[in-house]
Structure 1
């Protein structure tokens, strides 16, 4: 089977996210990294691209040059990953969709709900795949949680509790550190800081696992470091369209927490608990029975978990492998589209533009509710009401 061509915008030298994408895209041999505009500095981007193995005429100086260069090629890229600063996501994603490219965009997909609705419309109009990198949904046992909920192991889901809390911005002395300061600056981050950065990962995971969407929410947002304009801690209560109640805590000042992404799901017939820092174990308590530990890679898991397990049982699983599962999903979806056949259901799990839109509506809902002392607000985007 021939490889698909892949290109990347952003993720240059020193980038936090670039290496994870390149590892993930290349892990299964489904994609060849053939094109990139990797840095906002044209010469630096071209140089780094060539050091990574790109030929000189496909190591571009900026995304516009890449769009023009790839559009006319018979071997143009099959997928473009957008891993640039948040405020640029909308324009780049929109232009590549309009030119007929499939896109994987880093979160947040856009900076406003209106922009996100526009991206959803473009994806539907052009028929191109537009995915959003909620990469933590690539973990095998997160997918197994989803499968357990879908097949009714928990019965009706009553409550979901999500957390994404760390302590890496807890030092008030970092107030002028440019790598931290921009996250709490409305001019650069938008209407929300911690919830938009981390909370939406936890919220999306709650929807991914339960198969339900958030309808209303109430938020308490605080800036524990008083010099910050935007929140560094938030508690969000929410309701979902299947009747499930949700609780979400996200924080950047929780000293002692490292990454802090966890999900618990409680149903009529049992409960599940998973933590991203210990991703190989899923804890399952059936009603009236003993606590069980489900190990990633063991036999008799769901097709979704089996497909997403890449190393033998007992060995560590990491974030690049979760990203690789998103890329594996996309490779299958792109090939299915090319071949005019249905996508493998176990691979049809990558987050869509619609997920990016719902997340952006939740960000603005949290900001609105936080300013109104926790008033309940409609968290659905206008086009889904």
Structure 2
């Protein structure tokens, strides 16, 4: 298969997310890094892009990149938007309207109205708009989803998700610019910790169960009193398949490092997975013994087999999970080009609709927190 051409906006030198995307996109040899506008400082972005081998397709701004790539016959097939949150909507919309497939970092937008607009634009353009809930790329997360779908634990009763860390717990660090902006409504929007981390846990709950959140009740708090936005939240939610949900997210949980994990309890069994130990999925059948499912072992689901590369016993980490999102997208784009059906085991990448649902949940959590935990509709208006 001819390599697809990939471009990136943001993710410049020294960024946290840029290397993970570049590693993930190139890991399977399906994409070639072809174009980029990597820094809001034009000269630095061009220079860094040229050092990475982009030549004259290293652009000084996303607007220059849009114009330059639109004019080429060998234009990029996919662009990743990894810029500050407040710019996601404008850039994503512009590239979709120009006929490019887009992978946008989360949150997809800053408001529900913007999210609904992106869903409409993607539908009208006929182009893929994916959102990087990259942790759903882990092999055993996908195997958990497959087990639940085939009925291994029966009807799902309860899902418990969390994403808690302690890296913003030091009050002396509160004025650090890398921390402060996350709790500033002008830059972060209506929510801090839930919008940053909690939506990963909530999206994963929907991903593995195949159900969507319909309503929620939230208790939000700023444990550091100088913060306007929350640094800890406890969210109860209900799903459209009848499942009860519990979610805890925090940035002041000293001793927790990454802290993303999920437990699913059904009528005939339970499942448990943690991102810090991603090679093991714990399965407890009703009345049976605890089983440890290892990534890479024989007789797993097609969804798990397709997304494992390293032999059993060796760790697979976050860039490889990202790589599975890119692998899905490469299959989706190639299937469209070739006029065929895509591999159903690859049809798992998060969509614009997922980004929209997350934004609606963010707004509902923020409002419920203000109303002392009132139960609110968590669905965006277009899905009500």
TM-score, scaled to structure 2 = 1.00
Deviation at 1:75, TM superposition (A): 0.5
Deviation at 1:335, TM superposition (A): 0.4
Return the alpha-carbon distance in structure 1 between the equivalents of residues 194 and 316 of structure 2: 26
The Cα offsets for residues 278-297 of structure 1, whole Å up to 9 and x where unpaired, read as 00000000000000000000
Alignment of 1:177-256 (within 5 A): 177-256=176-255
Give the 3-state SS of the residue equivalent to 2:204 in structure 1.
helix
Return the alpha-carbon distance in structure 2 between the equivalents of residues 355 and 343 of structure 1: 20
Question: Does residue 111 of the first structure (1) align with residue 110 of the second (2)?
Answer: yes
Question: Does residue 45 of the first structure (1) align with residue 49 of the second (2)?
Answer: no
TM-score, scaled to structure 1 = 1.00
What is the match of residue 143 of structure 1?
142
Deviation at 1:12, TM superposition (A): 0.0
Return the alpha-carbon distance in structure 2 between the equivalents of residues 128 and 254 of structure 1: 40
Deviation at 1:373, TM superposition (A): 0.1
Return the alpha-carbon distance in structure 2 between the equivalents of residues 271 and 227 of structure 1: 41
Return the alpha-carbon distance in structure 2 between the equivalents of residues 65 and 365 of structure 1: 37
Question: Does residue 3 of the first structure (1) align with residue 3 of the second (2)?
Answer: yes
The Cα offsets for residues 294-349 of structure 1, whole Å up to 9 and x where unpaired, read as 00000000000000111000001100000000000000000011111111000000
Return the alpha-carbon distance in structure 2 between the equivalents of residues 368 and 341 of structure 1: 45
Deviation at 1:60, TM superposition (A): 0.1
Give the 3-state SS of the residue equivalent to 1:8 in structure 2.
strand
What is the match of residue 29 of structure 1?
29
Question: Does residue 364 of the first structure (1) align with residue 358 of the second (2)?
Answer: no
Question: Does residue 16 of the first structure (1) align with residue 10 of the second (2)?
Answer: no
Give the 3-state SS of the residue equivalent to 2:146 in structure 1.
helix
Return the alpha-carbon distance in structure 1 between the equivalents of residues 374 and 188 of structure 2: 23
Return the alpha-carbon distance in structure 2 between the equivalents of residues 25 and 62 of structure 1: 21
Gaps of 5+ in 2: none
Return the alpha-carbon distance in structure 2 between the equivalents of residues 174 and 228 of structure 1: 12
Alignment of 1:237-276 (within 5 A): 237-276=236-275
Return the alpha-carbon distance in structure 2 between the equivalents of residues 336 and 296 of structure 1: 28
Deviation at 1:74, TM superposition (A): 0.7
What is the match of residue 89 of structure 1?
88
Return the alpha-carbon distance in structure 1 between the equivalents of residues 318 and 174 of structure 2: 29
Return the alpha-carbon distance in structure 1 between the equivalents of residues 131 and 342 of structure 2: 18
Gaps of 5+ in 1: none
Return the alpha-carbon distance in structure 2 between the equivalents of residues 176 and 150 of structure 1: 46
The Cα offsets for residues 14-40 of structure 1, whole Å up to 9 and x where unpaired, read as 000000000000000000001000000
Deviation at 1:115, TM superposition (A): 0.1
The count of corresponding residues between Structure 1 and Structure 2 is 384
Give the 3-state SS of the residue equivalent to 1:201 in structure 2.
helix
Runs of at least 4 residues off by over 4 Å: none
What is the match of residue 306 of structure 1?
305
Give the 3-state SS of the residue equivalent to 2:247 in structure 1.
strand
The Cα offsets for residues 236-287 of structure 1, whole Å up to 9 and x where unpaired, read as 0000000000000000000000000000000001000000000000000000
Question: Does residue 319 of the first structure (1) align with residue 296 of the second (2)?
Answer: no
Return the alpha-carbon distance in structure 2 between the equivalents of residues 114 and 340 of structure 1: 33
Give the 3-state SS of the residue equivalent to 1:279 in structure 2.
strand
Return the alpha-carbon distance in structure 2 between the equivalents of residues 353 and 221 of structure 1: 26
Deviation at 1:227, TM superposition (A): 0.3
What is the match of residue 284 of structure 2?
285
